[in-house]
Structure 1
């Protein structure tokens, strides 16, 4: 009696190995595609942050914070439009923009500013420029932000007022591509005031000891974009290692919240580091 497998058994085995090969190929393809998909898988990050000296009338102030949109060849307007719509649906009191709105070419400046013009917040919309904005065209970036009705606060600031209370929102120029004038950003603010400072690059916190700053908001580092589990971010554009990779960090003189960004720079991928729209509540 022959011990050879019956034809039906050979057929079953062929089907099994064929399906296994297809499954392995699909898994490999999915693994390769995932970083591209994560780059557009924006999440909502909600954080409650303490701001020293915050007047009672401002407690609970909601702030939509968007940084590093990087509209360009790899970050399309449809994606930016989705994030803008999402921010508007959350009905923030205030919108703050942390710089790097474009990548690769100045031709993207006008379109992204027109999309950001749709952002809504009753207490205003304030922005600083990032290194990419200055690299592509600082002059055009400033002109298009102004045309969009977004108030640029590089090396200047504004007072937000509720009744007799006030809150200072100031900004400085990008650390890599501009000058930083904290005196102009803070002007007549004193140590008893509540002060939020915008600086695209979080490394700026390492060089500032002004006691009037209560909180700084930054972007720039993207959380590293690619994070290896158990190891951390592979590359970070910071002189201070992984300290300012993302989230709330204690700087030498004040806390810094670093957003991981809405878009991507360089390779259009993210891994274990989803892009984020940040909603802050100040207390």
Structure 2
């Protein structure tokens, strides 16, 4: 009888704890943090020194990430008034029906130097053609193995993007086009693993997402699941790869489960500096 009372008491104490943990995870999944890193981009002309770039990635509009949340992210981005806005892929989750509403919301994004984005693995899984149509309808430049020159006062730098590493075919050479080793080159790649074997010396900085910062991170800093072949190396933040530097955003949405622990959603507002 004493054992039965003990088990009931133990269960009664554990269940509220689990409930609180889940509730916190749900709360943290919507607790967006605006990070403000300052990063030096090699060969960046002085005319672009201080240029601000907003990186939005892994929005994952779907059953876990509401359209109200997406609209709030868009409003926050516009309030920051970045010079350039870039999107890191994975715009929907689970079903194609979420793609159009997400791009309809993102159509409000506007910046003096433009709005550009790349594809992620979920964009292939849930509706590649619908996603590409979304880019066009929202007037967002799609940089799939393609690049553009960003110009100001007679100077320029290369903004390029590559296809998703898992589902597409990465072509850095095509993305960089006629850029030389004397040009500043900023590359968008949904998956940061691209940086590990990328040997093109022209790339000065890669902007990525994909890993969600682990989404669930223990107090020790360990993450039980990171979708990378290199463990936690490309978990989050500014990382030095073999041939370039990479900034990995924790992203804005969630997958698999609708919560985050120890890895708040991130809206990155970075400042680029010339060397």
TM-score of the superposed pair, with normalisation by structure 1: 0.90
Distance 1:268 1:24 in 2: 21
> Which residue of 194, 209, 215 corresponds with 2:184?
194
Distance 2:13 2:64 in 1: 29
Is residue 2:106 matched to residue 1:106?
no
> Which residue of 134, 140, 144 corresponds with 2:134?
144
SS of 1:114's partner is helix
Structure 2 vs 1, CA of residues 180 and 28 (structure 1 numbering), >3 Å: closer, same or farther?
Answer: closer
Distance 1:65 1:75 in 2: 18
Distance 1:24 1:200 in 2: 39
Q: What residue is the counterpart of 2:228 in the other structure?
A: 238
> Which residue of 73, 81, 84 corresponds with 1:91?
81
Q: What residue is the counterpart of 1:123 in the other structure?
A: 113
Q: What residue is the counterpart of 1:264 in the other structure?
A: 254
> Which residue of 193, 217, 222 corresponds with 2:212?
222
CA RMSD, Structure 1 to Structure 2 (Å): 1.5
Q: Number of matched residues?
A: 263
Q: What residue is the counterpart of 1:168 in the other structure?
A: 158
Distance 1:154 1:166 in 2: 20
> Which residue of 34, 41, 44 corresponds with 2:34?
44
Distance 1:223 1:237 in 2: 10
Shift of residue 100, structure 1, vs aligned partner: 0.3
Distance 2:169 2:263 in 1: 30
Q: Structure 2 regions of 5+ residues with no counterpart? A: 1-11
Is residue 2:66 matched to residue 1:76?
yes
Shift of residue 32, structure 1, vs aligned partner: 2.7
Q: What residue is the counterpart of 1:32 in the other structure?
A: 22
Structure 2 vs 1, CA of residues 250 and 25 (structure 1 numbering), >3 Å: closer, same or farther?
Answer: same
Shift of residue 42, structure 1, vs aligned partner: 0.7
Q: What residue is the counterpart of 2:56 in the other structure?
A: 66
Contact between 2:22 and 2:259, CA under 8 Å: does it hold in 1?
no
Structure 2 vs 1, CA of residues 191 and 26 (structure 1 numbering), >3 Å: closer, same or farther?
Answer: same
Q: Structure 1 regions of 5+ residues with no counterpart? A: 1-21
Distance 1:247 1:25 in 2: 35
Shift of residue 222, structure 1, vs aligned partner: 0.3
Shift of residue 184, structure 1, vs aligned partner: 1.2
Deviation track 1:56-77 (CA, whole Å, cap 9, x = no partner) reads 1000000000000000011000
SS of 1:53's partner is coil
Asked which structure has the greater CA Rg, the reply is: 1
Deviation track 1:85-121 (CA, whole Å, cap 9, x = no partner) reads 0000000000000000001001111000011111121
Distance 1:152 1:164 in 2: 24
Distance 1:80 1:269 in 2: 16
Q: What residue is the counterpart of 1:14 in the other structure?
A: none
